[in-house]
Chain A
């Protein structure tokens, strides 16, 4: 069910950052910020944190252990081959294939993780408050019920910071 949101449009990143600072000082809750390119200041302002790299490390560690276990099983337990009296558990020659399979596993698992956590997948129904945010505008959106301020106050506050437009939209 849709509900009203306050949508503010900025033409330049400095003005957006000024707007973020102003609403933070007044303890107005920002629902989301949409930008045409990644901005670390925006991610920090939204209090967003990601454990993606740690999770990727866990994927890699688990994959490396699994691959080594598999290689040990195939080369020592399932079908040991004696060539030139060399040891069947030839750890050094397992290293490269372990590295490559670990990288392949991290890739596949990270892609799935990204798709699930960022909710990016084919055929996804999305809500974009203002289409210009994928082109040249920086868009800050407030949930009218949770923002903690009214439209008029917010409008004045953001316009003072350089917002081009502030309007209400059902999303």
Chain B
């Protein structure tokens, strides 16, 4: 029998199928722990601050932000790209590994998909409020309107972005939800209280686990997985063309689409690692999310970090090699040195230097170190977007138009608010949804565990 010795066992302990169900739904049956309530309180307060900031924006307009004629895109677009990046990698993780038949995804995919849905919801807030008059957001729908047969610009990356993000939210939410249906049925059939039985029964859509259902379920998973893999690549490529199709120095480069896609996967994988460390620690799921799982994510992060470092070097090299004075100025006098130099070096340190520590097996096996590095990467990816957006806009072609930018409390408030919304969503996920895909973990129990099963063969 195949024992997956290269990767080590995926599930530790002498588990049987029923034990897996019990372990994973235990947090749903138990009372909410104190730390959960405290975290929920803090994240709701953050979300409330965000709501106040959003109200100020809608009530008084974009004048409440520090954006100006030069730096027309500020924290909002930075945060949009940051969230969408985190959101992309969650599904990328789940879907790419599904298509590549990587069975170690089974303990992690559910949380990664949940993270995706909440992150994309946070991301979607930013383009909407960036319109200023958010109640007119429907203008971007392609419909024959009452002002004549005037259509939206189908050739604009900004419109592609809107459609791509909507499609991405739809597909990632569907992929996530339908993945949970068999697990909701497990909870329904184990529930003792009538309310729980009714609620999870409704969510389970009448799932029974018959061969007919599994056949179509698998078909749906692979269809959605196959097309979502294309979408993951195309959506962040489109986000990059929002920048690359302009003539702003530092943006106008063909490197942007792959650079953005890889960056998105980088930040998402880092966030997956953060989340999985929290889950295994607080819910005692170390036997499902093993050190080997974290080790595998760490190795992927190290590899992607090298690509990120190469991308940063390529940008600088092309600015020098192209000989364009504006590109030279942006990279050498406004990033490597200059007013925003901290952002540039923070980006390099967090994304290209610190992750290299994970070459060491000692670091990969140290959960605290991995947790810190995963947070550092997410901070670094935020700095990357700041670097791209603000440095290129603050000092462009005309020195008379140069303006410095620092955010107002409203802009900071919206960002804090989205962090609050994200963490609230994740905490609700911890509490009411199986954090690990029960049926998928059961399917890898025998071939990959050192349990009573493998000992027999």
Interface residues of A (CB under 8 A from B): 13, 32-39, 42-43, 46, 48, 50, 52-53, 56, 60, 71, 74-75, 78-79, 90, 93-94, 96-97, 99-101, 103-104, 106-108, 110-111, 114-115, 117-128, 131-136
Contacts and interface: CB of A to CB of B under 8 A. Distances in A.
B207 interface: yes
* 9 tightest Cβ-Cβ pairs between the two chains A and B: A124-B206, A136-B17, A52-B219, A104-B167, A126-B206, A136-B18, A37-B443, A118-B216, A38-B214
Most chain A beta carbons < 10 A, residue from B154, B181, B190, B202: B154
B178 interface: yes
B142 A74 contact: yes
Nearest to A40: B218
B149 interface: yes
Contacts of A48: 211-212, 215
Interface stretch (B80-88, B155-163, B271-279, B395-403): B155-163
Interface in B13-32: 16-18, 21
Interface of B: 16-18, 21, 142, 144, 149-151, 154-155, 159-160, 163-164, 166-167, 170-171, 174, 178, 181-182, 185-186, 188-190, 202, 205-220, 222-224, 227-228, 230-231, 234-235, 238, 439-440, 442-443, 446
A106 to B, nearest CB: 5
Given A32-B211, A111-B220, A75 B154 contact: yes
Nearest to A51: B219
Of the listed residues A42, A111, A117, the one surrounded by the most CB atoms of chain B closer than 10 A to its CB is A111
A117 B160 CA distance: 32
A20 B29 CA distance: 36
B205 A79 contact: no
B214 A35 contact: yes
Contacts of A115: 205
Contacts of B144: 78
B208 A127 contact: yes
A128 B160 contact: no
A53 B228 CA distance: 15
A125 B206 contact: yes
6 contacts: A39-B214, A50-B219, A56-B223, A96-B160, A120-B207, A121-B205
Contacts of B17: 36, 135-136
Given A37-B439, A50-B215, A128-B208, A100 B222 contact: no
B210 A78 contact: no
B176 to A, nearest CB: 13
Contacts of A100: 160, 163-164, 167, 231, 234-235, 238
A78 B442 CA distance: 55
Residue in A71, A74, A123 with the greatest tally of chain B CB atoms within 10 Å: A74
B209 A136 contact: no
Contacts of A39: 214, 443
Q: Among the interface residues B188, B190, B210, which one has the most CB atoms of the partner chain A within 10 A? A: B210
B218 A38 contact: yes
Given A50-B219, A106-B223, A107-B227, A120 B213 contact: yes
Given A33-B211, A35-B209, A104-B167, A131 B231 contact: no
Interface centre among B16, B166, B185, B220 (most CB of A within 10 A): B220
B21 to A, nearest CB: 5
Contact of B160 (A78, A97, A104, A135): A97
B206 A110 contact: no
Given A34-B210, A107-B227, A120-B207, A13 B164 contact: no
Contacts of B150: 79
Contacts of B160: 96-97, 100
Contacts of A99: 230, 234
A127 B210 CA distance: 10
A25 to B, nearest CB: 19
